[in-house]
Structure 1
């Protein structure tokens, strides 16, 4: 099987997973995309392990970013509620 055929077969077989936003974002990076193509077409275990490590790091960072983003948003909402309550309590007395 040619390298291009192997890549096409892989892309068709795992098209659902490859359409996930996190994977699309990961493969937007040219280095990651090249490593992915190399790992799939050459069926090289060392490249697959390297790709796996890079994806795990990327996924961890994405999750951490999402957590911090949510934390900031929720803290801002909570802060606004407390501030409004203090203002309302002060006006009532």
Structure 2
């Protein structure tokens, strides 16, 4: 046999083994999971947490100075809007009291 035939044969065997594993897992899940290790979920959880850790390393975290500056901007914005809303409320109260009372 040539190398390509051996490779395709081995790949086919691996594929068959994978299919058998999937069928076995599916049949076990249909039977209520009997025969599945009690901590089989731990492998999936470990993989998930590893993925989470790698994603957290990709995040560009803001510096302390950036957080401080943006917090100041938000506070100024809140004060300005609060002042505007209070001013409009006061003006509308004056107008309504003059004309409606």
- Which TM-score band (shorter chain)? 0.3 to 0.5
More contact order relative to length (CA 8 Å, sep ≥ 6): 1
Q: Which one has the largest radius of gyration?
A: 2
Q: TM-score, normalised by structure 2?
A: 0.41
Structure (1 or 2) with the greater helix fraction: 1
